[in-house]
C-alpha cells in the first residue's frame, strides 16, 4: 500500500468511488482543480488499485480537508485513518496551524474518527448539504506548535528497569519522532525533559527509567492524577533524503526516541535496522521487541553482560563498511555518541539526539548549551536532534 | 467588581504588577503562543552586554529540593543584535519593555546604557549589579555601595530612561546598598538577584556546575527576599520590584504587603509555565473576597501593624 499524490490518470477510479459514496458527488472538473496548489490531493493505493483519496486545500497556515473518501467495500479497515493521518502530517510539514473540515451531522463514523484524531466541533453550517438540507458540523484540529496542558495519568506500566507512563491530553498534539516533552515531576522544582515515545492524538506515552529524583517521583504517580506537560518541543529526526536504508543506534534509554522513528520509517517503506544495546536482557521488554518486529524493523540486540544478543556495547559491533545509501540515527549516552561520530566515516549522513540538563524546554533558560561549530546551540531549541556537521567532534 | 491591578514604578504605569525575572524569559517573545501574555505588566529581557557573551560551560543548572542553582554566565547576543533582531518583535507585544543591562566594567555599563538612549520601544533599564556567575562585574559591583552609586549616577547623566537597580541579596548590607542606589538617582530597586551558592558532586569529587559557583533561586530564596523587601521599603521611599522565589499567588501577596510595587517571577515559570495566569487569578480572587479595589491599596500593609517588637 502507498499514499501518493493524485494524478489525472487516477480520476476514473476516483470518480467511480465518489459516485458510489455520495448522492451529490464531485465531478471531474472539481478534482482537476484540486490537483495543483492551493489544492493537494492524495490517493490510497494497493496493488495499483485506488481504494480511497483525500483532498486538502492549504492557504498560508490554514488547511481545509475538502474530501476524504474510502471505497464502500474497503471501509472499516483503517484506510480512512491512514489517509487522515497522512494529511495531518502533510499539513504539519507545511506549517499549517489549524486544519478545518465540514462533516455531515448524521455521519457518526466519520465524526468519531475525526474526534479520535483530535478534531473539535467549532460550529455548524445550516443546511450545508443540498440533497437533504442537513447541517454540517464545522470541525477544527489545532496544530499550534507548543501547548501547556494538564495531562491525566491513564496507566503506569512497569517493565523490568523501564516504565511506560501513559497519559491522556486535553488537546490533541502531533509530533515528529525525536521531539520531547517537559513534564512535571511531582514535588520537584523543575520539569523533566523526556522523549516522546508514542503520541497519537490525545494519547501520550513516555518511556522512562526511574533513576533520578524526578523519574522516581514520576513512576509513583497514580492513575487519575494530573501532570503538567509542555509539548511538543525541539526538532525531531529529519526523514531520509534519497538514502535507501536506515540504521538506528540506540544506547540504553536512547530507544525512547528511536522506537517511534523506527516504526515511522518502516511504515514509509524504508528498510530499518535497529541496533539496541543495554546492560542486560531485562532492558528489552518483550512487548517492545514484539512491536518492533511486527513493524518490520530489523532488530539486533547487544548486552554488556551477554545475557541477550551479542556481548558488548553498540560501538563494538558496528559494521566495517558504510555505504552512502545509508542514513544513521543515534541516541544514547554521550560517550557512545562521541565514539559513533569518530567511527562512522564522514560521507555517511548521521543524525544524533543529545541530552542536556534544561529548565525551560523552549530556549529561555539557556542551560542546555552545546558548543558546536558556529557558536553555541541550545539542545532544547536547535536540537535535540543534530546533524553531525552541526556539532563539534569530539563534543566537549 | 474587577479589581484594579494597575501599579506605578515612578512615572511608569503598568497594567499589572507581574513580570518575568530577567534571565528566565529569554529576550521576551519565546513564550508567545505557549502562554498568555495577558497577565503581564511588563517584559524584562535577559541581561545584555556590549558584545555577545558565550557564558559558562555546562552543566549550567542544578536542581535542589527547594529551588535551583544556575550558572549561565550571562550568555547573550549583545546589545547591537538585540536592538536589530529582537526588540522590533518585542514591541509588537504591546507591553512595556524593561531591558536588563550588564557590564564587566563601569565603562561597559555606560556604553550599553547609551546605546539604548532614545530608543522608543524601551520603557526602563534594569541595571544588573548583582549577577553571581561572572568573574568581573556582577555581584562584585552590587556589594560595593560606592560602585553602585557611581554606575547609577553616571547612567543617570547619560540615559534619559528610568533606571531600576538590581541588587544582590546581601542581608547585612542591603540597606546601605539600596540607599546608595537611591541617592545616586535610581528610580526603583529590583530586590533581589540570586544568592551565590554551589553544589558538589560527591561521586566525582568536584563542583557540579561548569562555572563552579552559581546563583540560588526558587522557593528557598523567598523568605530571604521578603525580609529584604520589607526592610528596604520600611526605611526608604523608593519603588521596589520584588524578585526571589515567588511561585504562587500567596507569595505574590506577601511581597505586595511587604511593600513591593511590582513582582518578578522566574524559577516558578520552569515548573509551571502558566504561573503568571495562576498568580493573576489568585490575587484577583483574594482582592474580590476582601473587597480590595486597587492593588496599590495592599502595598506595604504589613508595615502598618502596631505593637510588634522588631
- Find the mean pLDDT for residues A108-136: 88
Matching residue, cell 507581574? B18
The rounded distance, in Å, linking the Cα atoms of B145 and B174 is 9
Query: If pLDDT is split at 50, 70 and 90, which confidence band does B133 have?
Result: low
Alpha-helical runs (H) found in chain B: 79-81, 87-91, 106-115, 139-142, 145-158, 174-184, 222-235, 249-258, 267-271, 275-290
Catalytic residue among A102, A176, A184, A355: A102
Distance (Å, rounded) from C-alpha A122 to C-alpha A141? Answer: 10
User: Strands A62-70, A120-125: parallel, antiparallel or unpaired by DSSP?
Assistant: unpaired
**Segment A69-73 mean pLDDT:** 94
The answer to whether B219 contacts A366, with C-beta atoms less than 8 Å apart, is no
- What domains sit in chain A, N to C, each tagged with a CATH number? 2-142 (3.40.630.30), 147-233 (2.40.30.10), 245-390 (3.40.50.80)
Contact call for A369 and B58, based on CB within 8 A: yes
Choose from B27, B33, B273 for mutation: most chain A CBs within 10 A: B273
Report d(CA A89, CA A268) in Å as an integer: 12
pLDDT value at residue B138: 66
For residue B135, the model assigns a pLDDT of 65
Of A145, A190, A364, the CB nearest to B63: A190
A360 Cα to chain B: minimum distance (Å) = 5
Give the span between the Cα atoms of B90 and A320, in whole angstroms.
52
- Rounded to whole angstroms, the Cα distance separating A92 from A97 reads 7
Sorting pLDDT into bands at 50, 70 and 90, what band is A395? low
Angle between helices A79-93 and A108-116 (to 10 degrees): 50
Q: CA-CA distance, A235 to A176, in Å (whole number)?
A: 8
- Whether the pLDDT of residue B45 is over 80: the answer is yes
Look at residue A374 in the predicted model and tell me its pLDDT: 67
Using N-to-C axis directions, what is the helix angle for B145-158 and B174-184, rounded to 10°?
Answer: 20
What distance in Å separates residue B68's CA from the closest CA in chain A? 7
Nearest-neighbour CA in chain B from A145: distance (Å) = 8
Give the span between the Cα atoms of B131 and B148, in whole angstroms. 13
Alpha helices in B52-173 (DSSP H): 79-81, 87-91, 106-115, 139-142, 145-158
Percent above pLDDT 70 for chain B: 95
Tell me if B68 and A368 make a contact (CB, 8 A cut-off): no
Q: Chain B residues within 8 A (CB-CB) of chain A?
A: 23-26, 30-31, 33-35, 46, 54-55, 57-68, 70, 72, 75, 218-219, 267, 269-274
CB contacts < 8 A, A to B, total 100
Question: Given this model, what pLDDT does residue A129 score?
Answer: 86
State the pLDDT at residue B136: 67
* Mean pLDDT, residues A3-9: 93
* Domains of chain B and CATH, by start: 7-55+73-196+217-304 (3.20.20.70)
Q: Do the Cβ atoms of B58 and A364 come within 8 Å?
A: no
Check if A144 contacts B (Cβ < 8 Å): yes
ipTM of the modeled complex: 0.90
CA B186 to mean position of chain CA atoms = 14
| Position B140 pLDDT exceeds 80 | no
Closest A-chain CA to B270: A360
Report the gap between the CA of A367 and the closest CA in chain B (Å): 5
> What are the grid coordinates assigned to A83, written together?
489517509
Residue predicted with more confidence, A94 or B127: B127
User: Are the beta carbons of A233 and A260 closer than 8 angstroms?
Assistant: no
The answer to whether A156 and A223 are in contact (CB under 8 A) is: yes
| Contact (Cβ atoms closer than 8 angstroms) between residue B301 and residue B259 | no
Residue A232 has pLDDT above 70, yes or no: yes
What is the model's pLDDT at position A324?
Answer: 83
Looking at the DSSP bridge assignments, the partners of residue B26 are none
Beta-carbon separation of B33 and A144 below 8 A:
yes
Chain B: residue nearest A191 by CA? B271
Give the per-residue pLDDT at B2. Answer: 84
pLDDT band at A116 (very low <50, low <70, confident <90, very high): confident
Give chain A positions within 8 Å (CB) of B46.
364, 366
**CB-CB contact of B195 with B221 (8 Å):** yes
Residue in A207, A220, A218, A273 with CA at minimum distance from that of residue A244: A273
Q: Which helix (H) or strand (E) holds A146?
A: none
Name A40's bridge partners: A56
Q: In what order do the strands lie in the sheet with A162-168?
A: A192-195, A180-183, A226-233, A147-159, A162-168, A203-208, A198-200
Q: Is pLDDT above 90 for A109?
A: no
- First-to-last alpha carbon distance for chain A, in angstroms, is 45
Q: What residues of A are in contact with residue B75 (Cβ under 8 Å)? A: 366, 369, 376
User: Which one, of B12, B11, B85, lies nearest residue B48 by Cα?
Assistant: B85
CB contact under 8 A, B54 and A376: yes
Phi, psi of B48 (to 5 degrees): -115, 135
List pLDDT tens digits, range A275-334.
999 999 999 999 999 999 999 999 999 999 999 999 999 998 888 888 888 999 999 998
Alpha-carbon distances, residue A88 vs A69, A118, A141, A173, A204 (angstroms): 15, 11, 9, 11, 17
Asked if B143 and B173 touch (Cβ cutoff 8 Å), the reply is yes
Angle between helices B249-258 and B275-290 (to 10 degrees): 60
The CA distance from B90 to B29, in Å, is 6
Q: Among A114, A174, A175, A351, which one carries the catalytic annotation?
A: A114
The reported pLDDT for the residue numbered B167 is 95
**Helices B106-115, B145-158: inter-axial angle, 10-degree rounding:** 30
Mention every residue, 6+ apart, whose C-beta is less than 8 A from residue B278.
B248, B249, B272
How high is the pLDDT of residue A200?
Answer: 86
Neighbours of A272 (CB within 10 A): 24
Cα distances from B260 to residues A367, B101, B224, B238, B303, in angstroms, run 30, 22, 14, 10, 12
Give A280 to chain B, closest Cα distance, Å.
24
Q: Binning pLDDT at 50, 70 and 90, where does residue B309 land?
A: low
Q: Read off the pLDDT band of A6 (50, 70, 90).
A: very high
- What sign has the CA pseudo-torsion B9, B2, B289, A187? negative
Q: Of A95, A367, A370, which to mutate for an interface test with B (greatest number of B Cβ within 10 Å)?
A: A367
Query: For residue B273, what pLDDT band results from cuts at 50, 70 and 90?
Result: very high
Task: Write the CA distances from A141 to A63, A84, A230, B153, B207, integer angstroms.
Answer: 10, 11, 18, 56, 48
Q: Which three cell numbers stand for residue A275?
A: 541496533
At A339, phi and psi to the nearest 5?
Answer: -65, -40
Whether the CB-CB separation of A41 and A66 falls below 8 Å is answered with no
Is the pTM higher than 0.80? The answer reads yes
Compute the half-sphere exposure of residue B281: CA atoms within 13 Å on the CB side of its CA: 6
Cis peptide before A394 (omega within 30 of 0): yes
User: Closest to B273 (Cβ–Cβ): which among A148, A189, A190?
Assistant: A148
Query: How far is it, in rounded angstroms, from Cα A253 to Cα B2?
Result: 51
Q: Among this protein's residues, is A102 annotated catalytic?
A: yes
Give the pLDDT of residue B24.
94
Q: Which of B26, B57, B271 sits opposite A191 (nearest CB)?
A: B271
d(CA A378, CA A368): 5
* Average predicted confidence (pLDDT) for chain A: 91
Contact of B241 with B260, CB cutoff 8 Å:
yes
Give the β-pairing of B188-191 and B240-243: parallel
**B307 pLDDT exceeds 80?**
no
**Phi then psi for B184, rounded to 5 degrees?**
-75, -10
3-class DSSP state for residue A234? coil
Contacts of A366 in chain B (CB under 8 A): 23, 26, 46, 55, 60, 72, 75
Q: Which residues of A touch B222 (CB under 8 A)?
A: none
Summary mean pLDDT of chain B: 93
Burial (0-12, 13-18, 19+ Cβ within 10 Å), A11: middle
pLDDT digits (tens, 9 = 90+) for B60-76: 999 999 999 999 988 99
C-beta separation of A376 from B54 below 8 A: yes
Gap from B119 CA to chain A (nearest CA, Å):
24
Cβ within 8 Å of residue B37, ≥6 positions away = B31, B93, B95
N residues, chain B: 310
SS3 assignment, position A293: helix
pLDDT for residue A142: 84
Element (H, E) at A310: strand A310-311
pLDDT at B215 over 90: yes
The pLDDT, as a whole number, for residue A133 is 86
- Give the whole-angstrom CA distance, residue A143 versus residue A124: 21
Read off φ and ψ for residue A231, nearest 5 degrees.
Answer: -165, 165
Cβ burial of A317 (10 Å; 0-12, 13-18, 19+) is middle
Of B158, B157, B148, which Cα lies nearest the Cα of B179?
A: B148
Amino acid at each position: 500500500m502507498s499514499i501518493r499524490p493524485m494524478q489525472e490518470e487516477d480520476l476514473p477510479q476516483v470518480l467511480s468511488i465518489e459516485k458510489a459514496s455520495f448522492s451529490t458527488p464531485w465531478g471531474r472538473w472539481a478534482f482537476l482543480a484540486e490537483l495543483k496548489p492551493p489544492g493537494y490531493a492524495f490517493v490510497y493505493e494497493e496493488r495499483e488499485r485506488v481504494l480511497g483519496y483525500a483532498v486538502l486545500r492549504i492557504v498560508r497556515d490554514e488547511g481545509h480537508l475538502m474530501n476524504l473518501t474510502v471505497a464502500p467495500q474497503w471501509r472499516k479497515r483503517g484506510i480512512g485513518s491512514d489517509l487522515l493521518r497522512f494529511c495531518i502530517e502533510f499539513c504539519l510539514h507545511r506549517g499549517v496551524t489549524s486544519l478545518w473540515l465540514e462533516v455531515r451531522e448524521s455521519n457518526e463514523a466519520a465524526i468519531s474518527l475525526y474526534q479520535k484524531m483530535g478534531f473539535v466541533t467549532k460550529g455548524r453550517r445550516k443546511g450545508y448539504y443540498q440533497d437533504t438540507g442537513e447541517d454540517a458540523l464545522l470541525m477544527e484540529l489545532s496544530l499550534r506548535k507548543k501547548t501547556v496542558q494538564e495531562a491525566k495519568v491513564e496507566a503506569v506500566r512497569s517493565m523490568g528497569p523501564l516504565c511506560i507512563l501513559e497519559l491522556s491530553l486535553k488537546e490533541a498534539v502531533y509530533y515528529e519522532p525525536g521531539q520531547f516533552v517537559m513534564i512535571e515531576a511531582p514535588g520537584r522544582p523543575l520539569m523533566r525533559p523526556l522523549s516522546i515515545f508514542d503520541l497519537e492524538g490525545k494519547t501520550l506515552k513516555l518511556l522512562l527509567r526511574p533513576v533520578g529524583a524526578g523519574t522516581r517521583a514520576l513512576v509513583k504517580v497514580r492513575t487519575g492524577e494530573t501532570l503538567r506537560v509542555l509539548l511538543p518541543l525541539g526538532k525531531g529526526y529529519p526523514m531520509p533524503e534519497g538514502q535507501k536504508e536506515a540504521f538506528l543506534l540506540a544506547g540504553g534509554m536512547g530507544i525512547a526516541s528511536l522506537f517511534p522513528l523506527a516504526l515511522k520509517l518502516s511504515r514509509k517503506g524504508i528498510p530499518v535496522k535497529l541496533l539496541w544495546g543495554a546492560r542486560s536482557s531485562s532492558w528489552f521488554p518483550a512487548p517492545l521487541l514484539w512491536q518492533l518486529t511486527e513493524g518490520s524493523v530489523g532488530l539486533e540486540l547487544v548486552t554488556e553482560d551477554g545475557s541477550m544478543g551479542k556481548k558488548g556495547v553498540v560501538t563494538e559491533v558496528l559494521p566495517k563498511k558504510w555505504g552512502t545509501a545509508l542514513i544513521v540515527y543515534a541516541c544514547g549516552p554521550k560517550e557512545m555518541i562521541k565514539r559513533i561520530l569518530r567511527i562512522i566515516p564522514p560521507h555517511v549522513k548521521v543524525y544524533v539526539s543529545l541530552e542536556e540538563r534544561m529548565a525551560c524546554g523552549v530556549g529561555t533558560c539557556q542551560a542546555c548549551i552545546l558548543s558546536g561549530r558556529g557558536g553555541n546551540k541550545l539542545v532544547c531549541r536547535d536540537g535535540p536532534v543534530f546533524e553531525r556537521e552541526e556539532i563539534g567532534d569530539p563534543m566537549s | 467588581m474587577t479589581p484594579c491591578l494597575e501599579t506605578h514604578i515612578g512615572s511608569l504605569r503598568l497594567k499589572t504588577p507581574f513580570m518575568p525575572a530577567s534571565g528566565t524569559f529569554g529576550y521576551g517573545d519565546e513564550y508567545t503562543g505557549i502562554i498568555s501574555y495577558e497577565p503581564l505588566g511588563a517584559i524584562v529581557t535577559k541581561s545584555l552586554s556590549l558584545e555577545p557573551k558565550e557564558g559558562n560551560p555546562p552543566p549550567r543548572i542544578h536542581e535542589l529540593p527547594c529551588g535551583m542553582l544556575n550558572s549561565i554566565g550571562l550568555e547573550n547576543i549583545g546589545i547591537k543584535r538585540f536592538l536589530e533582531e529582537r526588540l522590533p518583535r518585542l514591541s509588537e507585544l504591546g507591553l512595556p519593555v524593561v531591558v536588563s543591562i550588564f557590564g564587566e566594567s563601569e565603562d561597559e555599563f555606560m556604553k550599553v546604557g547609551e546605546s539604548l538612549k532614545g530608543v522608543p520601544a524601551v520603557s526602563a533599564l534594569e541595571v544588573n549589579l548583582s549577577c553571581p556567575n561572572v568573574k568581573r562585574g556582577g555581584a562584585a559591583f552590587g556589594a560595593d555601595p560606592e560602585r553602585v552609586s557611581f554606575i547609577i549616577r553616571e547612567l543617570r547623566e547619560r540615559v534619559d530612561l528610568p533606571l531600576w537597580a538590581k541588587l544582590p541579596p546581601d542581608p547585612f548590607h542591603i540597606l546601605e546598598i539600596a540607599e546608595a542606589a537611591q541617592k545616586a538617582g535610581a528610580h526603583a530597586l529590583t530586590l533581589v538577584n540570586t544568592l551565590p551558592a554551589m553544589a558538589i558532586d560527591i561521586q566525582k569529587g568536584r563542583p557540579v556546575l561548569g562555572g563552579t559557583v552559581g546563583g540560588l533561586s526558587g522557593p528557598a530564596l523567598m523568605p530571604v527576599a521578603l525580609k529584604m523587601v520589607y526592610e528596604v521599603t520600611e526605611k526608604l521611599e523608593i519603588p521596589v520590584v520584588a524578585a526571589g522565589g515567588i511561585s504562587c499567588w500567596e507569595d505574590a501577596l506577601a511581597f505586595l504587603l511587604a511593600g513591593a510595587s511590582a513582582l518578578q517571577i522566574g524559577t516558578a515559570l520552569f515548573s509551571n509555565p502558566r504561573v503568571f495566569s495562576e498568580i493573576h487569578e489568585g490575587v484577583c480572587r483574594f482582592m474580590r473576597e476582601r473587597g480590595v479595589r486597587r492593588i496599590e491599596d495592599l502595598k506595604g500593609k504589613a508595615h502598618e501593624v502596631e505593637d510588634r517588637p522588631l
